[in-house]
Structure 1
Amino acid sequence: MTSGIRYLKKTNEKLMKHFIFASQVQFQGLVQMVLVLGIGGSFPYGFHISVINYPSVHIRKFINETWIDRHGSPLHPETIMLLWSFIVSVYGIGGLLGSLCCGYLTTRYRKKKCQMCTNLIMLIAALFMAFSKTAKSFEMILVGRFLYGIGTGFSLNIHPQYVGEISPKKLRGFTNSTVAVFLTLGKFMGQVIGLREILGSEALWPWLLASSGISALVQLATLPFFPDSPSYLLIQKGNEEACRKAIRKLWGEGDHQAEIDDIMKEKVAMTSTKTLRVLELIKEQSLRWQLYVLIIVMTTLQLCGINAIYFYSFEVFHTAKFEEYLIPYVSLGVGLCECLSSILCSTLIDRFGRKVLLWGGYTLMCSVLALLTMTLSLQHQFFWMHYFSVILIFLFVTFYGIGPSGATVSVMVEIFSQSFRPSAFLIVGCINWMGLFVLGMIFPLIVDNLGPFCFLIFLGILAFSAIFIYLYLPETKGKSIMEIKAEFNKLNFGKKEISVIDNNFPKEQWSSTKL
């Protein structure tokens, strides 16, 4: 009897190991493509956000030395600061331009081809950065930074759409959340190689700014070996055989007919619709609540207070009596915490769903901001308060990474069908890049006037968003695009109008009732 139980246990263990191995092998192509898309997608965006701060002193010095060589006299400090500010902000201008062009170009020339052209732009930008010091031209830094912005404007638009289209329903949350994982990984890598011991020194800063070209080169060399998304091949190209071939390459052998049927339903619905431009998308009643959700989650991502947390972390660490040379490494710990929590989000999102991670994350972040406002206000009265503030900073970054950081991207991809997604992501790009610009302009003024009480503004935004998401966002986990659209139709048209639509049209044609 005992030997029989042991035999059954061993057999069960072998079966479990075989199942895990088979799952890994089955989706090996998908995992590889997710890595390739990530390394040249959201990774550069995160990298450029963090890396530009480290060589700032060296670049300002280089601008002045270049001017002296050309004209024989130094620049005024205010002029140097103005040129430096323009170098930083031109990245956002390039990003906005890339986002505006991306929707049209990806619709016409497909995402894969546009992403490969993006890599070429990034490589040209890297060359400008690498040889700027040798050529004694700070203008080359300006041009390189602008081209980096255009490239990341494209890649940040293409990456979430592409990665969402190549995954099956049961893994869609995981693959979508990897956009945030690679973004935070890029921020962390920028912090690491920006240290003065690596590439942050006065001699090596041009190579620090040029190092982003490595990720573009890797993606340019590997992406051609992967297919276009199955939905693109079936819906846009009408090639069912190519779609099946792409699915087998990405998802392995098996019965994927249900997924193909879902794509076919989307294609049938699209035959009676047209690809909407941005203004048409905004006016379309059948997409009204999708737009509300899109704007809320994207605006909250920008205004949740994460940038304020990073800003205050330096002050808190300094007040907590950390040695000056240790502060960059403690800040590196904050970046690592965000990266690890984003990875954790990718494992939780298909278990708990997008809605729970969003409103739950917003609520927890609200609680932390309330406590942090109190501890920062009282840190000069009680010596132990600043240590509590350090703990709260790490907690806030953790809740941000586990919740909104990964779930936001997944929701944005899933609530729009393929014909509406390019225009929707153009709106996302505008909110993102304009948000960065506005925050850069007004955030220092808010901090100067409100101090730690600036967190109350972000707290209010998070509280409003948590209530909105809890009340109005349908759970998208495990649902097809048409099922999600049906859920939103209940909000867009109301129960009475939905009953009329249901009686007169098949479900897959609901999207065409207003077009």
Structure 2
Amino acid sequence: MFQFGYNTGVINAPQSVIENFIGDCWKERYNNNIEGSKQDLIWSIAVSIFAIGGMIGGFCGGIVGNRFGRKKGLLLNNLLGVGGACLMGFSQMLYSFEMLILGRLVIGINCGLNTSLVPMYISEIAPLNLRGGLGTVNQLAVTVGLLLSQVLGIEQLLGNSNAWPLLLGLAIVPAVMQMVLLPVCPESPRYLLMSRQLEDEARRALRRLRASSHVEEDIEEMRAEEAASQTEAHMSMLQLVRSSALRMPLTIGIVMQLSQQLSGINAVSKYSVF
């Protein structure tokens, strides 16, 4: 989730030097200066395509988590993180603003998948009494990533014409760290038991996570959850909207998300230096 926060804010501070890079690329190719409107358009695409990638990744999170597992899904997702960081980091060297745009799209997909897979994995491995606290750490990591991207992006550090590719390319660090550290973590016991029916592996994972051989209570809880989910009636989107019992929770959830998006924080984090 640090990756999500970092890549959300990193593009803001070096705006002017990246716009100059776009202009230089255009002049090198076409031997004339780029129009201001075209330069603004290319810059805006480079910024906003991150959100499009995030939307794609967010929609695919459940599919990836169920197809490959929570842990393996996160590991595979880091390949996107490495690829996106390399595309952005080498864009100036290869004089290609298209690489910058493509890198922003790929890292956006990576972050979108993280927003689905990370909370899923954490909630499934955490004991009940720690689940809420560990969920809060997610949001803390996002804000720390935002803060660090803004600090490193000042002109005296990495937000200048020579160092901005390194600033964007630093997104490779959390991806590589997770690729190194995550293999020593166990897979989600809930996924192993409820999705794959691998009870013995689920027990082994629980023993590692709880540092105890007494995991029967957790196993029974997951069995009860699985039985309850099988007896629940499946509800379509239209039925959800029409349900009077769920109308208030649904309205509250929608209003909270709209309040976040319409507060203007996205414009501040991406265009405040404009």
TM-score of the two chains, using structure 1 as the length reference: 0.49
Say yes or no: does 1:68 pair with 2:22: no
Q: Distance in 2 between matches of 1:266 and 1:255?
A: 19
Q: In the alignment, which of 41, 47, 66 is matched to residue 88 of structure 1? A: 47
Structure 2 equivalent of residue 298 of structure 1:
257
Q: Structure 2: which amino acid aligns with 1:136?
A: Y
Once the two structures are TM-superposed, the CA of residue 286 in structure 1 deviates from its matched residue by 7.4
Q: Distance in 1 between matches of 2:47 and 2:127?
A: 39
Structure 2 equivalent of residue 229 of structure 1:
188
- Size of the aligned set, in residue pairs, is 273
Q: Contact 2:88 / 2:103 at 8 angstroms: preserved in 1?
A: yes
Q: Contact 2:14 / 2:154 at 8 angstroms: preserved in 1?
A: no
Structure 2 equivalent of residue 152 of structure 1:
111
Structure 1 equivalent of residue 141 of structure 2:
182
Once the two structures are TM-superposed, the CA of residue 198 in structure 1 deviates from its matched residue by 2.2
Distance 1:63 1:155, change over 3 A: same
Q: In the alignment, which of 76, 87, 93 is matched to residue 128 of structure 1? A: 87
Determine helix, strand or coil for the equivalent of 2:167.
Answer: helix
Once the two structures are TM-superposed, the CA of residue 88 in structure 1 deviates from its matched residue by 0.7
Determine helix, strand or coil for the equivalent of 1:117.
Answer: helix
Structure 2 equivalent of residue 261 of structure 1:
220
Q: Distance in 2 between matches of 1:287 and 1:258?
A: 31
Say yes or no: does 1:251 pair with 2:213: no
In the TM superposition, 1:259-338 aligns within 5 A as 259-273=218-232, 290-304=249-263, 306=265
Say yes or no: does 1:201 pair with 2:171: no
> In the TM superposition, what whole-angstrom CA distance separates every residue of 1:387-426 from its partner, at most 9, and x where no partner exists?
xxxxxxxxxxxxxxxxxxxxxxxxxxxxxxxxxxxxxxxx
Say yes or no: does 1:78 pair with 2:37: yes
Structure 2 equivalent of residue 55 of structure 1:
14
Distance 1:273 1:248, change over 3 A: same
Q: Contact 2:70 / 2:191 at 8 angstroms: preserved in 1?
A: no
In the TM superposition, 1:346-495 aligns within 5 A as none
Once the two structures are TM-superposed, the CA of residue 159 in structure 1 deviates from its matched residue by 1.2
Determine helix, strand or coil for the equivalent of 2:12.
Answer: coil
Q: Contact 2:3 / 2:174 at 8 angstroms: preserved in 1?
A: yes
In the TM superposition, 1:203-218 aligns within 5 A as 203-218=162-177
Distance 1:284 1:157, change over 3 A: farther
Q: Distance in 2 between matches of 1:309 and 1:144?
A: 22
> In the TM superposition, what whole-angstrom CA distance separates every residue of 1:115-174 from its partner, at most 9, and x where no partner exists?
122110111111111111111111110111111111111111111111111111111111
Q: In the alignment, which of 37, 57, 60 is matched to residue 98 of structure 1? A: 57
Greater Rg by CA = 1
Q: Distance in 1 between matches of 2:21 and 2:35?
A: 14
Q: Contact 2:86 / 2:169 at 8 angstroms: preserved in 1?
A: yes
Once the two structures are TM-superposed, the CA of residue 205 in structure 1 deviates from its matched residue by 0.5
Once the two structures are TM-superposed, the CA of residue 289 in structure 1 deviates from its matched residue by 5.3
> In the TM superposition, what whole-angstrom CA distance separates every residue of 1:190-217 from its partner, at most 9, and x where no partner exists?
1222122322121011111111111011
Q: Contact 2:4 / 2:111 at 8 angstroms: preserved in 1?
A: yes
Q: Structure 2: which amino acid aligns with 1:231?
A: R
> In the TM superposition, what whole-angstrom CA distance separates every residue of 1:363-404 from its partner, at most 9, and x where no partner exists?
xxxxxxxxxxxxxxxxxxxxxxxxxxxxxxxxxxxxxxxxxx
> In the TM superposition, what whole-angstrom CA distance separates every residue of 1:253-296 from its partner, at most 9, and x where no partner exists?
16443333221210111233477776676567776555444324
> In the TM superposition, what whole-angstrom CA distance separates every residue of 1:328-375 from its partner, at most 9, and x where no partner exists?
9xxxxxxxxxxxxxxxxxxxxxxxxxxxxxxxxxxxxxxxxxxxxxxx
Structure 1 equivalent of residue 68 of structure 2:
109
Distance 1:270 1:170, change over 3 A: same
Q: Contact 2:84 / 2:102 at 8 angstroms: preserved in 1?
A: yes
Structure 2 equivalent of residue 240 of structure 1:
199
Q: Distance in 2 between matches of 1:310 and 1:209?
A: 15
Q: Contact 2:14 / 2:155 at 8 angstroms: preserved in 1?
A: no
Identity rate, percent: 33
Q: Distance in 1 between matches of 2:144 and 2:128?
A: 25
TM-score of the two chains, using structure 2 as the length reference: 0.89
Name stretches of at least 5 consecutive residues in structure 1 with no aligned partner.
1-41, 315-327, 329-443, 445-515
Q: Distance in 2 between matches of 1:68 and 1:139?
A: 15
